[in-house]
Amino acid sequence: MLTVGSFFKQNASKFCQKPAVIFHNQTLTYEELNTRTNQLANAFTKRGFQKGDKVAVLMKNHSSYIETIGALAKIGVILVPINYRLLSKDIEYILNHSECRAVITTGEYESIVRNVIPYTPALDTLLVVDGQADYPFYQYEAFLQSGSSEEPQVHIDETDPFYYGYTSGTTGKPKAVVISHRSRVLTGIVAAYEYKIDESDIHIVAGPIYHAAPWIFLLMQLFVGGTVVIQESFDAEEFLQLTEKYQVTNTFMAPTMFNFILNLPSETKASYNHKTMRVLISAGAPLPTQTKNEILEYFNGTDLHEFYGSTESAITLNIKPKDIKEKDACVGQPFPLVECLLLDEQKNPVAIGEVGELYIRAPYLLDGYYQNEEANRESFYGEFFTVGDMARQDADGYYYIVDRKKDMLISGGVNIYPREIEEFLYTHAGILEVAVIGIPDPVWGESVKAIVVPKEGVSLTEEEILSYCEGRLASYKKPKSVDFVSALPRNPSGKILKTELRAPYWQSQGKRV
């Protein structure tokens, strides 16, 4: 059966005393990991949680995150990972929309959870992993230890929901992506095949587990019986320290994270041995050619892959080491078992070299968006699915993402939707019109720029607009710069021409806008 929990159970006997998870110098063997997942699962069952209930996790990376993944998978309770960088109002929305009964958090975010309790009536269980477990919180470890170590006796089907991954929508309301056990198990198994990962490998989790990609790759490594080393949050020098200490062989990172490593002082980079690293995987934003070259120079002898995907589709396209230097700005060929279509507005296939909307069919796809039939209708075309990205294919069968249909921008590997920011900025009394775009950023890939038309007779400053956003927008959504213009460019139908707005900033990069 292709269920996540079955791997935790099987690998407990198959790899028994082998290290499964390393976090803050503490190691869990496969046997210990499975025992603790059973205890946590049975503690939830004893408290009345049943198949189909939902539990949110709001924390930075932690070994308890993996225990929770395994535990809930074994009893059919759906995990809802939450981005810890979100504002309280966004967290409140996700908890209510998903109908979560429980939240697992750390002391760092306990106060945020307390603030939303009065507005989230379905919550009845609150666990804190560290810190004081003052009412109404329970201490995570004590709660876990209250459960039996026996295997839970709950039938889980591979088509059952495994987790809900929330991804921001252009209206500002996050969408819940329903991911089945089968989807993520197949993704992990095939990723191990694609990236040549096996039980001898050691993977470092550098990105936040709430994000789809780090989640996929940590499961990949655990499925095949290797070891996972967890960074609580990414730090470039600590990454190198852990790589040397544990002889790490593979990792996934967004381009921004690679940039932070490459921008370390030369003496710092030279002081660590990373010769065991053999597979590097990048995604979340385009990897600039210069960055690729610097990565391959510093991590000499490694295989560098870059893939294109989403929470909804997992890994869709992958460019392999043999092609990564030859195919500039390319996202490669379809991941195994993925079928791609490029369609025009009338859903007709476009010719080779022409741009069309990318649709895919694969066993890794979402089941749909939870309680959002409108999004389902817009995104599915029969068995094919699209996130609205525009692409072209060359004569060799390689794909290139050339535009974002919905003007999404990516900063530090995080998807940012301008419309949400624009709608907020329109609440400023002095703003007549505003357009938000992504402009090149040497560290983050893209940064958020607001282009503002002030109301007549109103004098605005960049500092005033940036201050207005403080505390009202999540930090990664706040504009980093503001330009002022007398009018925004529009087409004959009145639509703002963001292509024209972006062009001056991207022309020097030699990229299509």
**φ, ψ dihedrals at 109, nearest 5°:** -115, 10
**C-alpha angle with apex 174: 173 to 178, nearest 5 degrees?**
140
CATH architecture of the domain covering 1-179? 3-Layer(aba) Sandwich (3.40)
Tell me the per-residue pLDDT of 419-478, one tens digit each, with 9 for 90 and over.
Answer: 778 878 988 989 988 999 999 988 888 999 999 999 889 999 999 999 999 999 998 999
Residue numbers in the chain where pLDDT is lower than 50: 169-171, 492-493, 510, 512-513
The rounded distance, in Å, linking the Cα atoms of 210 and 24 is 19
Beta bridge partners of 229: 22, 204
Give the pLDDT of residue 167.
84
Give the pLDDT of residue 401.
83
Token pair recorded at residue 42: 């049975």
Identity (one letter) of the amino acid at 280? L
Q: Are 116 and 100 in contact (CB under 8 A)?
A: no
pTM: 0.84
CATH number belonging to the domain at 409-509, selected among 3.30.450.20, 3.30.300.30, 3.90.950.10, 3.30.230.10: 3.30.300.30
The residues spanned by each domain of the chain are 1-179, 409-509
Give the pLDDT of residue 108.
95
Give the pLDDT of residue 147.
98
Tell me the per-residue pLDDT of 218-227, one tens digit each, with 9 for 90 and over.
Answer: 999 999 999 9
Give the pLDDT of residue 406.
65
Q: Are 161 and 183 in contact (CB under 8 A)?
A: no
Half-sphere exposure in the Cβ direction for 304 (13 Å, CA)? 24
The rounded distance, in Å, linking the Cα atoms of 52 and 370 is 13
